[in-house]
Structure 1
Amino acid sequence: MAALLILFTDSFTVGSFVFYSYCGITDIADGIIARKTYTQSSFGEKLDSMQILYLLQSVYIKFCRR
C-alpha cells in the first residue's frame, strides 16, 4: 500500500523518501521475523515478491512521468 503512495507524492521530496524507506524497512523486517520465527511459506514468498514488484513499478512510473 505504501508503494502506491509514492505515486501521489512529489519526486525527490521528504515524503517520497519516507514512503520508499518505509517500504524497504518493512520488507527487511518481514524477512527477518519470518526466518527467526520459522513462519516462512510459499505464499509469503510470492506476496513478498509482489510487494517488491509494486514498489519498483511505482518508483519507475513516478520517475518516468517526470
Structure 2
Amino acid sequence: FGIERAEATDVFTLLQQCMDHRQSITIFDPESEDLIAPDAAILTSTLKGTKASPAEQLSMTLAWDRADI
C-alpha cells in the first residue's frame, strides 16, 4: 500500500476496533438504487444508534423536517 509497517499496524488495529462495533457502522452508497437522500441516511442511522423513545425519535425526525422516516 505504500505505507510504513508501523502505520499499517496502526491502521489494522483501528480496523479491528471498528469491527468490535460493526453494528454501529452504516455505509451510505450514493449510487445505490435505493435512492435514499443523504440526510435521510444520516437520520436513520442516528435513530438506529440511539435508545430514544418513540416520542424522542418523532421529535428528532420533525426537527430534521423528515417526518417521512
TM-score (norm 2): 0.31
The structure richer in helix per residue is 1
TM-score (norm 1): 0.32
